Amino acid sequence: MKKILKYVIVDIIQNKIVVIYTALLLLISLSVFNLESSAAKGMASLLNLILLVVPLVCVIFSTIYVYNSSEFTELLVSQPLKRKTIWLSLFGGLATSLSLAFLIGVGVPVMLYHADPTGLVLILSGLFLTVVFVSIAFLAVGWTRDKAKGIGWAIALWLFFALIFDALVLFLLFQFQDYPLENAMVVMSFFNPIDLSRVQILLQMDISALMGYTGAVFREFFGSTTGILISFFGLLIWIVIPLLFSLRSFKRKDM
């Protein structure tokens, strides 16, 4: 496992896209903190970056990378190695290097300008989102052999979690506005990793007061230590489940 992981990581780190991604994240984070009047405002702007750009880049880059390393996987499958080892090494390599990019690009500036629990939750959520979307990319790769279709699926999944899901939630809220939906909303947020991270970070930022009664319910649930642990556990599930499904299809794949 370690051997293959090493080769994957070395290969990805040499990849220019990851370097550009790191530099871009760093540039945006630094300028956000320097342009906004207060670091707290900077954090709010950074939130959108983390919730939209990070998942998008991770899901697309990982999908393309896995398709492009078909030669590598094909070569390794004929060698005395478990398919599971090969697949998990690819996943581990992508997750590690993209997390590293995020830590350098966002983690370092946040620690410099806003080193408090809020900053920490922001970094942690960003890291989780990075790995979750690598996992989701693997799921998309498992669905089809066709690279173009695979990338299409990856983008569709991102679109669903970043935009469509929220639209559906809003639609439900308006349809059932006569009923108390606050607790249902907490449950709903677990079905979308982006929402889960958003709620976590917003509650840390003390702007939950703006969210009305739902905000208060969210506060009650996610504000407690157990709530935070449960929501990070939710993100963990979002990493494991897609990865397991993709592993299952990779084990049956014909080279």
Partner 1 sequence: MIELKNISKRFGRLQVLDNVNTTFREGECIALLGPNGCGKTTMIKTILGMVVPDSGQILFNGQKVNNDWKYRSQIGYMPQIGRYPENMTIAHIIEMMKDIRKEGGVVPDDELIKRFGLDTMMDKKMRTLSGGTTQKVSAALAFMFKPSVLILDEPTAGLDPVSSETLKERIIREKDKGKLILITSHILSELDDMVTKVIYMNEGNFLFERPLAELKEITGEEKLSRAVAKIMGNKSIGRPSNQMQPV
Instruction: Report the chain's C-alpha Rg in angstroms.
Output: 19
Q: Phi and psi for 220 in degrees, rounded to 5?
A: -60, -40
User: Which C-beta is closer to partner 1: that of 79 or that of 225?
Assistant: 79
Residue 26 burial (10 A CB sphere; 0-12, 13-18, 19+): middle
State the number of binding residues for partner 1 (CB under 8 A). Answer: 24
* Part of the chain binding partner 1 (CB under 8 A), chosen from 74-82, 101-109, 120-128, 199-207: 74-82
Binding status of residue 79 toward partner 1 by CB under 8 A: yes
Residue 54-73 contact track with partner 1, rule CB under 8 A, x = bound: ---------------xxxx-
Angle at 57 between CA 52 and CA 59, to 5 degrees: 95
Task: Please pick, from the candidates 1, 20, 23, 75, the single residue that binds partner 1 as defined by CB under 8 A.
Answer: 75
Tokens of 152: 């299409």
Task: Please pick, from the candidates 28, 77, 188, 247, the single residue that binds partner 1 as defined by CB under 8 A.
Answer: 77
Cα–Cα distance, 104 to 74 (Å, whole number)? 33
Axis-axis angle for helices 16-35, 39-48 (nearest 10): 140
Closest CA to 1 of 70, 132, 109, 93: 93
Calculate the dihedral angle through the C-alpha atoms of 109, 111, 116, 119, rounding to the nearest 10 degrees: 50
Binding status of residue 19 toward partner 1 by CB under 8 A: no
Closest CA to 165 of 132, 145, 191, 140: 191
Binding status of residue 7 toward partner 1 by CB under 8 A: yes
Binding status of residue 16 toward partner 1 by CB under 8 A: no
Q: From the CB of 72, what's the least distance to partner 1, in Å?
A: 5
Subset of 82-101 contacting partner 1 (CB under 8 A): 82-83
Binding status of residue 147 toward partner 1 by CB under 8 A: no
Closest CA to 73 of 155, 7, 140, 149: 7
Task: Please pick, from the candidates 81, 124, 188, 247, the single residue that binds partner 1 as defined by CB under 8 A.
Answer: 81
User: Which C-beta is closer to partner 1: that of 88 or that of 201?
Assistant: 88
Binding status of residue 12 toward partner 1 by CB under 8 A: no
Subset of 192-251 contacting partner 1 (CB under 8 A): 251
User: Which C-beta is closer to partner 1: that of 3 or that of 41?
Assistant: 3
Binding residues vs partner 1 (CB under 8 A): 3-4, 7, 11, 14, 69-72, 74-83, 251-255
